[in-house]
Homo-oligomer: A and B are copies of this chain.
Amino acid sequence: MRIGELAKATGTKAETIRYYEREGILPAADRRDSNYRDYSDNHLAALTFVRRARQLGFSMAQVRELLALSNHEDNPCQDVDRLVQLQLTEVERKIADLNALRDELGQMLRSCQADKIGECQIIGSLGRQSVM
C-alpha cells in the first residue's frame, strides 16, 4: 500500500508516518520504481502499535522501549508492566493536578459577584500566590 492508504487505514497523516520513519520509530518502507513508499501488513501492524501507544500517552522514547521489548518474545513481561505502571502513575498524577485546577477555576467563577473588572475577584485572585 502507498503512504496515503496506510495513513487512512491508521488515522495518521502521511507526514507523520514519514516523520516516524525518519525517527526510526517505523522501519523504512520498500520503494517502487517511482520511488513511492510501499507498505506491507507488517508496517500496518507496527504503525497501529505505535499510534495506540501514543494515544495511551506514552512518549516517543517509551514507544521505542515498548517496540524493543515487543521484539524479544523470550524476555519477561515485567519490563512491559513497569512501563505501563509508570504511565498509569503519571496519568493519575495528571488527573489529580487537573482536579485541583478544576476546583480552583470553579471557585473563581463562583467567587465573583462584581460586574466591573475593578472589583473582580477573579482578577484579584490571579494576582495572589497560590497556596497549592
Partner of A88, one of B79, B85, B102, B127: B102
Complex CA gap A91/B102 in Å reads: 6
Interface membership of chain A positions 75-104, coded 1 if the CB is closer than 8 angstroms to chain B and 0 otherwise = 111111100110110011011001101101
Contact A117:B76 (CB < 8 A) given known A108-B84, A126-B70: yes
A30: CB under 8 A from chain B?
A: no
- The total of chain A residues at the interface (CB under 8 A) is 54
Question: Which residues of B sit under 8 angstroms from A72, Cβ to Cβ?
Answer: 117
Partner of A122, one of B84, B115, B132: B84
A106: CB under 8 A from chain B?
A: yes
Q: Are B116 and A56 in contact (CB under 8 A)?
A: no
29 A-B residue pairs with Cβ-Cβ distance under 8 Å, sorted by A, are A49-B127, A52-B126, A52-B127, A55-B130, A55-B132, A56-B101, A56-B104, A66-B126, A69-B123, A70-B117, A70-B126, A73-B116, A74-B116, A76-B115, A76-B117, A77-B112, A77-B116, A78-B115, A79-B117, A80-B112, A80-B123, A84-B109, A88-B102, A88-B109, A91-B98, A92-B102, A95-B98, A95-B99, A98-B98
Interface residues of A (CB under 8 A from B): 45, 48-49, 52-53, 55-57, 66, 69-70, 72-81, 84-85, 87-88, 91-92, 94-95, 98-99, 101-102, 104-106, 108-109, 112, 114-118, 120, 122-123, 125-130, 132
